[in-house]
Structure 1
Amino acid sequence: MKRSEALIEIDNIHKSFGDFEVLKGISLSVNEGEAVCIIGPSGSGKSTVLRCINGLLPIDEGFIRVGNHRVHELRSEKEMRPLRHQVSMVFQQYNLFPHKTALENIMMAPIQVLGHERAEVEDRARKLLEKVRLGNKADSYPGMLSGGQQQRVAIARALAMQPEVILFDEVTAALDPETVKEVLLTIRELVDDGLTCILVTHEMKFAREVADRVCFTDRGLIVENAPPADLFDNPQDPRTREFLGQVL
């Protein structure tokens, strides 16, 4: 059942690191089942937005709500735990434990953070490996996998928390070109399944194809927010046009 209100609501958030203001009043709402891509130049605040949504970074000012969680009011890791169940994040660097197999990497958080039964978690983890087309790699260690395969294990690990939302932070940026395609295919299938996704990406063709909306950020602000056909083919703001002229 769809919610009558947005699943994610961000209102006028500000975030500084020392004297440098990274976010200067970002507002965004994302509906359940929606895929939103965030594009923009390096240093424009894209990744910071994701880290604020899942509570990895505290905001200086503003409001963030995910479902029933008022993220800006959560202080301790214990208070964050229900949010971690609802919102998973996949990073540019896979951050897999090298001494644990693909299967063990996927099983850790549901057992340790959520307290789920090992047998049930293992069954779920094996199904998730099949979902990301790595069913035959359950017993492989990260060092035995390609970068693209490691990133797909990281996606399966995020899915193991049974989240309502997944945040993808430039997940193909560290990959060889030939392995990017398999990771993007995995993400595309999650979007097609109706999982709510926010994706920071440099892959413009992918953003055009999978996103319901694309946000262009620059200098800590969302400059333009529109369906992909509108934003890519008929950008309204001069800064959006300039950026797309350089990357397309």
Structure 2
Amino acid sequence: MSWTPDQPIVSIKNVHKSFGHVEVLKGVSMDVMKGEVVCIIGPSGSGKSTLIRCINALNDIQQGSITVEGQEVHDPNLDKLELRKKVGMVFQQYNLFPHKTALQNVMMAPVKVLKQDKAEVEKKARALMKKVRLEGKENAYPGELSGGQQQRVAIARSLAMNPDVMLFDEVTAALDPETVKEVLVTIKELAAEGMTCILVTHEMGFAREIADHIYFTDKGVIVEHGPPDVFFQNASDPRTKEFLSQVL
């Protein structure tokens, strides 16, 4: 595997995905370079979440190819655990362990999966809690935290695996408006530090501000894509224009 950073870190080629008889992705292709921030937008049911779940092999695909750092994701011999060390994912639901503290949630995978030294992991986990602005909340249980705080613990937990790529699947969709911002600020800082991020999002202002490239999906295909200034000002496809007129 001889991937180099001048090649796409994530490369998606002609991906088809069906659930039963329903084809959800109908030949999607995109390349993401290292350090790039890509936002995928589009109406509900357009295949956005399915697509990013295919990147870390949570969904299989029927046709096409997805590579991460040159490694075919849907190779039957691929060690999915190895893949998921490289590709972190944060979901709409935070999926924290309710009976473990915030700090324990962040420490679990590096200790259990990566078999790292507990003292080292704790040091790093505390630094990550600080990074997501939750210093002082290390011993709080998820039930004692707001949705936005829980989501930031989930981001710290994903970062604890030291991934090369972060996937965010509508991570603000379940949050109150006032907590959305604190999560977006955290993602913005990650992006500014050079983390490769692929986000499915409804937050158009955020997408415009943070993305290097925006993809608009509708009914399982990429209708249009481009850098934010071009995409938002000069969308050419009528489906994109209609969508933007409803959300902007």
* TM band (smaller chain): over 0.9
Q: 1:14 aligns to what SS in structure 2?
A: strand
**TM superposition shift of 1:114:** 1.4
Deviations 1:181-210 (CA, angstroms, capped at 9, x unpaired): 100000000000000000000000000000
Q: 2:74 aligns to what SS in structure 1?
A: helix
CA distance in 2 between counterparts of 1:26 and 1:69 reads 18
CA distance in 1 between counterparts of 2:96 and 2:5 reads 34
5 Å matches for 1:1-248? 3-74=5-76, 79-248=79-248
Percent of aligned pairs sharing the same letter: 64
Q: 1:81 aligns to what SS in structure 2?
A: helix
CA distance in 2 between counterparts of 1:138 and 1:68 reads 37
CA distance in 2 between counterparts of 1:192 and 1:124 reads 20
Deviations 1:36-89 (CA, angstroms, capped at 9, x unpaired): 00000000000001100001111010000000321011457xx11111110000
Amino acid at match of 1:95: N
Structure 2 unaligned runs (5+)?
none
Q: 1:9 aligns to what SS in structure 2?
A: strand
CA distance in 2 between counterparts of 1:229 and 1:179 reads 27
CA distance in 2 between counterparts of 1:91 and 1:112 reads 21
Structure 1 unaligned runs (5+)?
none
Q: 1:217 aligns to what SS in structure 2?
A: strand
Deviations 1:84-126 (CA, angstroms, capped at 9, x unpaired): 1100000000000000000000011111111111111111100
Deviations 1:2-55 (CA, angstroms, capped at 9, x unpaired): 712111100000000011000000000000000000000000000001100001
CA distance in 1 between counterparts of 2:116 and 2:175 reads 32
CA distance in 1 between counterparts of 2:181 and 2:6 reads 35
Let me know the Cα RMSD of the aligned residues. 0.9
Worse-matched range after superposition: 111-120 or 53-62: 111-120
Q: 2:217 aligns to what SS in structure 1?
A: strand
CA distance in 1 between counterparts of 2:138 and 2:56 reads 28
